[in-house]
Amino acid sequence: MVRRSLAWSLLAAIALSVVACTSSGSATPSPDASVAPGSEPPAEAGEGTVTAAGGGSNEAYRIVTLGDSYTYGSGTDAPGRDSWPAQLQQALTQRGDLRVYLRNLAKASHPSGQVLEDQVDQVEGHEPDVVTLQVGVNDIAGNEVEWYGGNVGAIFDRLLLVLPPERIFAITTPDHKLTGWGQTYGTEDTIDALNASLLDEAVARGIEVIDIGPVNDRVAVDDSLLVQSDPPEPYPTAKQYAGWAEIIGPYIYDALSTAQP
């Protein structure tokens, strides 16, 4: 269930306006291949800098995002502008009552084991107020699903040393079987089992899971939500990423609004 802050309607409208102004995304490799970051501001995902966002408040909040291609923003011309974390930050900023800094540590090709090994150690140094985790497609593509639950549980345990559970959020892996590329990897049952494992590990620790499925599922009837290429790819367009940001946003806004920076 997605909470809706009373003030969120403005944020959602901003997110939709971002969609109208951004590219639908260009062709890029599959999730198990590296993706070179674009060159447009703000700072590109995974490239080592924190993006400052102005706002009407003197209070500054930090969001750190972990994961794979879907958090990195693969499929878009400029991940640092069009990824869902970047679009969420822009929407939060344009609300005017928060100053938000984003550090997107996500990397294309990373399964849960690599997130645990390569990304989690960096979190504490960025002094986050909120952390998100979205990972799984490369566990499926690399036949590593049997280790997924243990890896995700270990990631959560490490994050809980930095933040309380109410400021850590897990985000579901989208159904890549809805794409031509994704039909080669795993089954519907595999994806469902992976997200069920994510839910089990999160709930056991008091961490909320945000389901982006209601937007992702629309790719079956809306071609503009999916990068169109030959051969086919599994990537969302900037428009779909904006839809994810609209779902994720109320959780993050509520968590930041009650945090003490």
Residues with Cβ within 8 Å of residue 114, at least 6 apart in sequence:
107, 138
The tens digit of pLDDT for each residue in 4-47 reads 443 444 444 444 444 444 444 433 333 332 222 322 223 333 33
Query: β-pairing, 99-104 with 168-171?
Result: unpaired
Q: Specify the pTM.
A: 0.80
Rounded Cα distance, 35 and 76, in Å: 10
- Mean of the pLDDT values across residues 221-234? 85
CATH of the domain at 195: 3.40.50.1110
- Is pLDDT of 105 > 60? yes
Over the range 32-63, which residues count as b (16 or more CB within 10 Å of their CB) and which as e?
Answer: beebebbeeebbbbbeeebbebebeeeeebbb
Token pair 């080592």 in the structure block, residue: 48
Domain that holds residue 141: 8-258
Token readout for 142 is 């690399």
Crossing angle, helix 238-258 and helix 8-21, to 10 degrees? 150
Q: 219 in a domain, yes or no?
A: yes
The tens digit of pLDDT for each residue in 37-66 reads 322 223 333 333 334 344 445 578 999 999
Q: 2 in a domain, yes or no?
A: no
Q: 1 in a domain, yes or no?
A: no
Q: 166 in a domain, yes or no?
A: yes
Q: 170 in a domain, yes or no?
A: yes
Q: How many CA atoms lie within 13 A of 108 on its CB side?
A: 21
Domain count, the chain: 1
